[in-house]
Amino acid sequence: MSTNETHLQQADTLLAAMTLEEKAGQISQYFYLAGMSAQAEFVEAEVRSGRAGSLLFISDPAETNRLQRIAVEESRLGIPLLFGFDVIHGLRTIFPVPLGLAASWDPELVERVQGIAAREARAVGIHWAFAPMVDIARDPRWGRIVEGAGEDPYLGSQMAAAQVRGFQGDGIGTPDHIVAGPKHFLGYGAALGGRDYDEVNLSENELRNVYLPPFAAAVKAGAGNIMTSYVGTGGVPGAADRRLITDVLRGELGFEGFIVSDASSVVDLTTHGFAKDDLDAATRAIRAGLDMEMWFGLRFQEGMIPTPGVGAFATLPDAIRQGLVDEQRLDEAVRRVLLLKFRLGLFEQPYVDEGRAAKTLGLPEHREMARIAAERSAVLLRNIGSVLPLDRSAVRSIAVIGPLADDKQATLGPWAFAHDLEATVTLLEGMQRVAGSGVTVAYAPGVPVPTRVFPSPFAAMEQFVGDTSPQAALFDEEAEFSRAIELARTSDVVVLVLGEAADMNGEAASRSTLDLPGRQVELLEAVAATDTPVVLVLLSGRPLDLRRAIERTAAILVAWHPGSEGGLAVARVLFGEVAPGGKLPFSWPRSVGQVPLIYSHLRSHQPQTSMMRYWEEESTPLYPFGFGLTYGEVAYTNLCLHASAIGLDETLEIQVEVQNRSSRAIEEVAQLYLHQRYGRAARPVRELKAFQRVVLESGETRTLHFQLDAAARRYWSSAQNTSVLDASIFDVWVGGVSTASLHAEFTVQDSTGSFLSPTNKP
């Protein structure tokens, strides 16, 4: 018997011994809120009585073991708990935020990063990450753009698969690895107005061609879990959308793992005005194909203190008894969860070795990878007069200015919970360490760290958010402002660190503008007026409005929220110890009025180049998708296709030469874009289909090879209501940005040689 069959048999034996209440409990996951004793005690009692199969939000190994002991030794069947956690960009060692990781365009790096995150998580007893977030995000007002890979389905798919491989290693049960849970299925990123949790309406074209591909890639990479979305596409909430989770995810994508709801979103089916009550909600969610309910463990009633209580799935035994739900469907969900526990080896070893955490968390090699990841994520947008890299023989005094330059929380970004704040290297510290003895580095914050206008709904939960504005109360604004300007005036160069505080992006952190918050623009203008060259470093999780910044700065480096070693990484990039090579994973808008703005748009009546779109500004982005400079000039030449015409199912081989024309080693991301001229549906003006990040030595020319298979041309045609391959003429561009001009074309013919054969007719 294969191991899989043995596990199935073991799961079935256990299933046969379970009561309906234990079955419903096995597919109920509770937050464990250690800081709220009433909730914590309630959850422990649920575990003891076999009514909870999984817990989330514990990262202390002694605590996981204590709770696990309750499940194993005190519950009737002794089924171990599955521990989940938001391991988004690291556990103790924090890596750049996922949007920053995507800007590295380096899937191998991202795989290694999540491998380390998995190792640290597993060492404290976590089995499963609610990550990666693979939602395409095309509206930067949406705070959760920071958690994903940006606007593009191809880049998003590469990042999705890399992260799943990183978390899971060679598959579920690989030692030192954890289960990946790509989220949020489906379309969460398309919330109206970029407002978190708002309505989503997706056309089948967007759903299939844009939002689904990263999930397909994650499933193909073997993801063990998928989380549904809070929102619904077109009035059916994600947790109860049978068409999406059963027909598409299981049927079409062949997903075999288990499907969990987002937090409390089964109970929320009533909030949506979709379900009548908990019984109706649980019935419709499980019938739609949901396998597990993630539940806060608290009931909130207007004006009242939240009280501990069960989730909607606690009504499932009643739903079965009333004949609303088929017990086989319940068994199927429970079997999936038990099977996973067997595959993870939890029945043999439910506990974590409490000594391992100390030997694993924050290891020097983990931190080194955090530094490398931050270096590769940085995107250089501007470098006038080659102010960068900083030249130690010409620059003797550096003014580091800006409130975020010494803000550890902003250096880490959102979705960091079990980090070491003290050990976080800020930009200021990084500059001090890298500058060397001949260069003085002085600091002035200038203005306070910007704070949210409306408090975060999570602010009350102290364990979720750190204090992001430590100096705000003691800050003498006018004196500090003048001190910063004086420092700028008397220094050779200013490194101005501006952007967003950690809590300005992430969940429930949408913004109605893309402005630099607080008094930061005022500071920038006053600093620039001193005529000392300004290098602007942006810490943020979204593009910001740079219209007032551009002309006043000599250089702009986007550092994102770069993580535990972020300050060191950015300083090394600024001093040229390493060349920047990141590229934008989204189109950088000029102003908020342009969003959503994407490079792979459909052309309709007028070409995009016409000036007729906006009355007061151009309709093009400030910086296009895929853009990023390095410390040297890169040239692309000799784009060659192996054939000028291929068959529908054939693969095209493409090669191009890329040359480093500068006198130092640089990094570059070569990008290949495709456009189909006509077909059964209009296709975007260009779409990313392949990329390679390469290191080029000084003067080196390299030939890069790409393969464009039929899958790269396949798309969903709304006219046909299925995916198609068209015979057509195609344009190819290769270069270092989505506006690359090096071009070639080829023809795809169907077997009869005609463009409109009987099988290929509209």
Q: Which residues bind ligand BGC (CB under 6 A)?
A: 86, 130, 183, 262-263, 507
CA-wise closest residue to 558 among 500, 475, 637: 500
Residue nearer to ligand BGC on the CB measure, 183 or 511? 183
Residue nearer to ligand BGC on the CB measure, 261 or 411? 261
Residue nearer to ligand BGC on the CB measure, 214 or 450? 214
Residue nearer to ligand BGC on the CB measure, 178 or 388? 178
CB neighbours (10 Å) of residue 252? 13
Q: Is 403 left (phi over 0), alpha (psi -120 to 50) or beta?
A: alpha
Helix, strand, coil shares of the chain, percent, nearest 5, are: 35, 20, 45
Q: Whole-number minimum distance, CB 513 to ligand BGC, in Å?
A: 24
Side-chain half-sphere CA neighbours of 644 within 13 A: 0
CA-wise closest residue to 529 among 487, 485, 571: 485
**Alpha carbons 496 and 13: distance in angstroms, whole number:** 63
Residues 484, 446: contact at Cβ < 8 Å?
A: yes
Going through 165-320 in order, the beta strands assigned E by DSSP cover 179-180, 225-227, 232-233, 236-237, 258-260, 293-295, 298-299, 307-308
Any idea what DSSP says for residue 94?
Answer: B
Q: Whole-number minimum distance, CB 129 to ligand BGC, in Å?
A: 9
**Alpha carbons 476 and 752: distance in angstroms, whole number:** 78
Q: Shortest Cβ contact with ligand BGC: which residue?
A: 130
CA-wise closest residue to 188 among 225, 239, 154, 224: 239
**∠ at Cα 154 (229, 734), nearest 5°?**
160
Q: Spell out the residues 6+ positions from residue 732 whose beta carbon is closer than 8 angstroms to its own.
A: 639, 641, 654, 672, 673, 674, 708, 743, 744, 745, 746
Catalytic residue among 262, 278, 291, 750: 262
**Alpha carbons 274 and 106: distance in angstroms, whole number:** 42
Pairing assessment for the beta strands 493-499 and 397-401 based on DSSP bridges: parallel
Residue nearer to ligand BGC on the CB measure, 106 or 503? 503
Q: Whole-number minimum distance, CB 43 to ligand BGC, in Å?
A: 15
Residue nearer to ligand BGC on the CB measure, 299 or 552? 299
**Alpha carbons 246 and 229: distance in angstroms, whole number:** 14
Q: Whole-number minimum distance, CB 296 to ligand BGC, in Å?
A: 9
- How many residues can be counted in the chain? 762
Q: Whole-number minimum distance, CB 261 to ligand BGC, in Å?
A: 10
Q: Whole-number minimum distance, CB 197 to ligand BGC, in Å?
A: 9
Residue nearer to ligand BGC on the CB measure, 180 or 497? 180
Residue nearer to ligand BGC on the CB measure, 86 or 120? 86
Q: Whole-number minimum distance, CB 120 to ligand BGC, in Å?
A: 18
Going through 90-192 in order, the beta strands assigned E by DSSP cover 128-129, 179-180
Spell out a b/e string for 290-302, using b for 16 or more CB atoms within 10 Å of the CB, else e.
bbbbbbbbbeeee
Q: Whole-number minimum distance, CB 166 to ligand BGC, in Å?
A: 17
Asked whether the bond before 186 is cis by omega within 30 degrees of 0, the reply is: yes
Q: Whole-number minimum distance, CB 239 to ligand BGC, in Å?
A: 12
**Alpha carbons 56 and 464: distance in angstroms, whole number:** 13
Residue nearer to ligand BGC on the CB measure, 124 or 708? 124
CA-wise closest residue to 128 among 96, 94, 80, 93: 80
CA-wise closest residue to 159 among 201, 205, 204, 218: 218
Q: Whole-number minimum distance, CB 3 to ligand BGC, in Å?
A: 30
SS3 for 30?
strand
The 645-647 sheet, strands edge to edge: 645-647, 743-749, 728-735, 666-676, 687-696
Q: Whole-number minimum distance, CB 98 to ligand BGC, in Å?
A: 12
Q: Spell out the residues 6+ positions from residue 753 whose beta carbon is closer than 8 angstroms to its own.
A: none
Residue nearer to ligand BGC on the CB measure, 233 or 630? 233
Active site residue 262: yes
Amino acid type, 577: E
Pairing assessment for the beta strands 179-180 and 128-129 based on DSSP bridges: parallel
CA-wise closest residue to 672 among 744, 581, 748, 580: 744
Residues 120, 90: contact at Cβ < 8 Å?
A: yes
Side-chain half-sphere CA neighbours of 394 within 13 A: 9
Residue nearer to ligand BGC on the CB measure, 295 or 715? 295
Q: Whole-number minimum distance, CB 507 to ligand BGC, in Å?
A: 5
Residue nearer to ligand BGC on the CB measure, 86 or 407? 86
**∠ at Cα 452 (448, 457), nearest 5°?**
145
Catalytic residues: 262
